[in-house]
Structure 1
Amino acid sequence: MKKLILASLTLFMVTAANAQTGYKVGDVASDFNLKNVDGKQISLASYQNAKGYIVVFTCNTCPVSKAYEARVENLNKLYATKGYPVVALNTNDPVASPGDTYAKMQERAKEKKFSFAYLEDPDHVYTKKYGAMRTPHVFVLQKTAKGNEVVYIGAIDNDQQEANPERENYVQNAVNQLLKGEKPSVSNTKAIGCTIKWKKEMSR
């Protein structure tokens, strides 16, 4: 019983810490340099012609992430050539979630034929810095004079089961508005998905 209470308290503290320390719309996001599934190091600066980025915190194992894989792929196909490539980061600790090892990431990317970068964040450095809390959790960034400004945070859409007749494609709408020279009319939504599998020894 005590272990259960401690586990619940830890989860609450982790969630609260993310809520307090993660980026907000208008903040400038830091770059990263992480290993892609092809073995190469990738950073946002690697995309020299980008106008911005669709940064997706996700994983191999979450059913919600799996449900959105094709939509994430479609976002990359729609917007990479227009200057907004998808860059995905696996949030989960591979010990806490064995299905999220680097080798499993490589298998998943090959099986699903991902056209976007799929990076490991094994120590949760950027997962924590950005404030990702769920998988998937999206941060749309726009290149500005002050850096990569966060302009949208939240869900991909409001139709996980692809059955909502009033579907709102939040990320698509945000990027379309950016391409028109406008700021997203909806800049925050609630990310729906699995909780992140943190390193057990990490007190955060």
Structure 2
Amino acid sequence: MPKTESNPIALGTPAADFLLPDADGRLHRLADSQESPALLVAFLSNRCPFVVLIREALADFAREYGPRGLAIVGINANDPVAHPEETLARIGQEAAQQGYDFPYLKDADQAVAKAYGAACTPDFFLFDGQRRLAYHGQFDDARPGNGKPVTGADLRAAVEKVLAGAQVEGRQVPSIGCNIKWTPGNEPEWFSSAA
């Protein structure tokens, strides 16, 4: 199965603003989470095997850390024309079926994915209280077919540090997943069709 690694993004990079809809027609923006001491922006897919593997654990993770102050936003930037399972309506169904209690939004023109430098699904961007990038890496080392349990260990450790006001230390292992399904002609400069 083709795999794409997340792009190297400098820690300390500020969170890009966004204004995106959920399936109920509500618009969400970066400022909605300004009171939270940490923000996780997760680029997701409804169909990518790497996301399918972790989505139940991600929903549990959100329920665990939301009450502790972690704001979470899921964003789907995949081309809904070539991939009809990635439409706004299907995003709403996915959020309900998986029990996502965080906004799951559609980046229809893919501008937000480009602003973040998102390359794959899942792609996790964890920001501190000043909305500076503190962690950009994998959920854990589970991958489809490798038999490792889905624990969220890497992201969990990073969130614990950020919520405690500490720096995330150590090597951050890139996330690996399916490439974002760019609309033809809208591919960013970092995209390789071989991925």
TM-score (norm 2): 0.85
Name the counterpart of 1:73. 59
Aligned to 2:161: 177
- Give the helix-richer structure, 1 or 2: 1
For 1:42 and 1:69, the matched residues in 2 are separated by 21
**Cα distance change on mapping 1:113 and 1:164 into 2, 3 Å:** closer
Alignment match of 2:170 (pick from 182, 186, 200): 186
Aligned to 1:118: 104
Structure scoring higher RCO (CA < 8 A, sep ≥ 6) equals: 2
Deviation, 1:47, is: 2.4
What fraction of aligned residue pairs are identical, expressed as a percent? 30
Q: Secondary structure at the match of 1:74?
A: helix
| Aligned length in residues | 183
Q: State the SS of the aligned residue for 2:136.
A: strand
State the alpha-carbon separation in 2 of the partners of residues 69 and 90 from structure 1.
13
Relative to 1, partners in 2 of residues 1:187 and 1:38: Cα closer, same or farther, differing over 3 Å? farther
Match of 1:8 in 2: none
Q: Is the 8 A contact 2:45 2:78 kept in 1?
A: yes
Structure exhibiting the larger radius of gyration computed from Cα positions: 1
For residue 61 of structure 2, what is the amino acid of its counterpart?
L
Q: 2:75 aligns with which of 77, 83, 89?
A: 89
| AA matched with 1:200 | P
Q: Could you say what secondary structure the match of 2:135 adopts? A: strand
Q: 1:158 to 1:90 in 2, by over 3 A?
A: same
> CA RMSD, aligned part only?
2.3
Q: 1:35 touches 1:119 (CA, 8 Å); kept in 2? A: yes
| Alpha-carbon contact 2:138-2:155 (below 8 Å) kept | yes
8 Å contact kept, 1:53–1:142:
yes
State which of 134, 142, 155 in structure 2 corresponds to 1:151.
134
**Aligned CA distance change for structure 1 residues 55 and 182 (closer, same or farther; 3 Å):** same
Partners of 1:200 and 1:48 lie apart in 2 by: 35
**Contact 2:33 2:39 (C-alpha < 8 Å) held by counterparts:** no
3-state SS, counterpart of residue 34 of structure 1: strand
Relative to the length of structure 1, the TM-score reads 0.81
1:37–1:117 contact (8 Å) kept in structure 2:
no
Contact 1:133–1:195 (CA under 8 A) maintained in structure 2: yes
